[in-house]
């Protein structure tokens, strides 16, 4: 019988990345010449799962792949990353999800995804995954797959849950705010969900207050080069965690997923570690990833982090 005990369980999308590197991002209607093309493995769920696995978590993934060569390759890749794939299933007649990604010289990116087989994730898949769900410490979900199945999985999970509400929902459901233990989004998603601009930390603070009034127990807004800002019922005054020194951002693709995978890993490792330390560690991992090309290929393993110790590391943070 397969081992169902898991540190971090992730439900969501597997997507093949098709990445074009260019001097700058094209404007609407503009054709430019790129410098390099690569394929890679992506999808928010798979990215977050691999990020946690590389840090040492025992991980499992609930996802769908197309019955095509991309799907075959993806499953082999997940095995090579030590991810439990017993609930990663092929869907006949559907293509594996893909993402077209453009990356500029300054590390900025633009992404279009076609979710393909990921749209086939259903309530039945959640039911079939109950052993994994019942035996995981932390569960992570996103909104690249059908929301109904995602919310159902979060509702039946008894551990610590993290919802990365990305892409932002077309319509806000109260469940999105109240069911997960932690809601994690970036500044653009925060703006979409609150119907207000979030260009700076002061507006992020106001957005956090809006989320908390809706019943969110803990909300984290990642803010790119500025790091992250968060608040929770336990400590409602927002805290800003700044990024460590970054020599040069090479590729920001998947940095948010590195953050969430690291947050899940350190939460599963020891949920009593103060949240500011866990967020600080996640910012550290995300900053590491943006200084390397690729998505999952940019995520660190434990050996890459040297003597990094979340319990003793001093992060740069303050109340705002």
Q: What pLDDT was estimated at residue 248? A: 87
Half-sphere CA count of 229, side-chain side, radius 13 A: 25
Q: What pLDDT was estimated at residue 2? A: 63
How many structural domains compose the chain?
1
Per-residue pLDDT tens digits for 97-122: 999 999 999 888 898 889 999 999 99
Residue span of the structural domain in which 231 resides? 6-319
Which single residue is written with the structure tokens 């119907």? 195
Q: What band does 247 get if pLDDT is binned at 50, 70 and 90?
A: confident
pLDDT score of 151 more than 90: yes
- Residue 187 annotated as lining a ligand binding site: no
- Residue 227 annotated as lining a ligand binding site: yes
Q: What pLDDT was estimated at residue 15? A: 96
Q: Is 304 a catalytic residue?
A: no
- Residue 46 annotated as lining a ligand binding site: yes
What is the rounded average pLDDT of the residues 273-292?
A: 97
Residue 119, domain member (yes or no) = yes
Candidates 145, 192, 146, 173; CA nearest to 48 is 145
Per-residue pLDDT tens digits for 6-17: 999 999 999 999
What is the rounded average pLDDT of the residues 166-172?
A: 92
Residue 108, domain member (yes or no) = yes
- Residue 106 annotated as lining a ligand binding site: no
Q: What pLDDT was estimated at residue 251? A: 87
* Alpha-carbon span 158 to 179, nearest angstrom: 11
* Alpha-carbon span 195 to 110, nearest angstrom: 22
Residue 205, domain member (yes or no) = yes
Other beta carbons within 10 angstroms of residue 60's beta carbon come to 31
Other beta carbons within 10 angstroms of residue 158's beta carbon come to 10
What is the rounded average pLDDT of the residues 36-62?
A: 96
Q: What pLDDT was estimated at residue 294? A: 85
Percent above pLDDT 70 for the chain: 99
Residue 294, domain member (yes or no) = yes
Mean pLDDT of the chain: 95
pLDDT score of 253 more than 90: no
- Residue 275 annotated as lining a ligand binding site: no
Of the listed 3, 105, 257, 270, which one is catalytic? 257
CATH number of the domain that residue 174 is part of? 3.40.1190.20
User: What is the value of pTM for the model shown?
Assistant: 0.94
pLDDT score of 215 more than 80: yes
Residue 1, domain member (yes or no) = no
Q: What band does 282 get if pLDDT is binned at 50, 70 and 90?
A: very high
What is the rounded average pLDDT of the residues 41-46?
A: 96
What is the rounded average pLDDT of the residues 30-57?
A: 96
DSSP codes joined into one string, the chain: -----EEEEEES--EEEEEEE-SSPPPTT-----SEEEEEEE-HHHHHHHHHHHTT--EEEEEEEESSHHHHHHHHHHHHTTEEEEEEEEETT-PPEEEEEEE-TTS-EEEEEE-GGGGG--HHHHHHTHHHHHTEEEEEEESSS-HHHHHHHHHH--SEEEEE--SPPSS--HHHHHSSSEEEEEHHHHHHHHTS---SHHHHHHHHHHHHHTT-SEEEEE-GGG-EEEEESSS-S-EEEPPPP-S-----TTHHHHHHHHHHHHHHH-TTS-HHHHHHHHHHHHHHHHTSSSSGGGPPPGGGGTT--TTT----EEE-
Q: What band does 273 get if pLDDT is binned at 50, 70 and 90?
A: very high
Q: What pLDDT was estimated at residue 3? A: 80
- Residue 256 annotated as lining a ligand binding site: yes
pLDDT score of 60 more than 80: yes
- Residue 16 annotated as lining a ligand binding site: yes
- Residue 119 annotated as lining a ligand binding site: no
């Amino acid at each position: 019988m397969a081992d169902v005990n898991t540190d971090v369980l992730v439900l969501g999308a597997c997507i093949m990345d098709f990445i074009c590197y260019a001097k700058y991002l094209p404007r609407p209607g503009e054709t430019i010449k790129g410098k390099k093309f690569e394929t890679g493995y992506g999808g928010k769920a798979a990215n977050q799962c691999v990020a946690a696995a590389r840090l040492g978590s025992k991980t499992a993934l609930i996802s769908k792949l197309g019955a095509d060569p991309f799907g075959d390759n993806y499953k082999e890749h997940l095995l090579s990353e030590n991810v439990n794939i017993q609930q990663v299933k092929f869907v006949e007649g559907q293509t594996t999800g893909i993402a077209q990604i453009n990356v500029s010289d300054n590390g900025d990116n633009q992404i279009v995804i076609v979710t393909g087989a990921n749209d086939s994730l259903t309530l039945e898949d959640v039911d079939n995954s109950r052993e994994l769900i019942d035996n995981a410490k932390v569960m992570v979900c996103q909104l690249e797959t059908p929301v109904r199945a995602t919310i159902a999985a979060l509702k039946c999970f008894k551990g610590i849950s993290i919802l990365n509400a990305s892409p932002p929902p077309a319509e806000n459901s109260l469940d999105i705010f109240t069911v997960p233990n932690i809601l994690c989004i970036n500044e653009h998603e925060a703006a979409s969900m609150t119907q207000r601009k979030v260009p700076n930390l002061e507006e992020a603070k106001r957005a956090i207050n809006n989320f908390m009034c809706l019943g969110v127990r803990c909300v984290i807004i990642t803010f790119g080069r500025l790091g992250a800002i968060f608040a929770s019922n336990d400590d409602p005054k927002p805290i800003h965690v700044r990024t460590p020194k970054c020599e040069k951002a090479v590729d920001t693709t998947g940095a948010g997923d590195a953050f969430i995978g690291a947050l899940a890993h350190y939460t599963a490792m020891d949920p009593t570690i103060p949240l500011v330390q866990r967020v600080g560690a996640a910012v550290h991992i995300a900053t590491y990833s943006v200084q390397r090309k690729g998505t999952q290929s940019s995520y660190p393993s434990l050996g890459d982090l040297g003597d990094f110790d979340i319990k003793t590391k001093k992060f740069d943070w303050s109340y705002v």
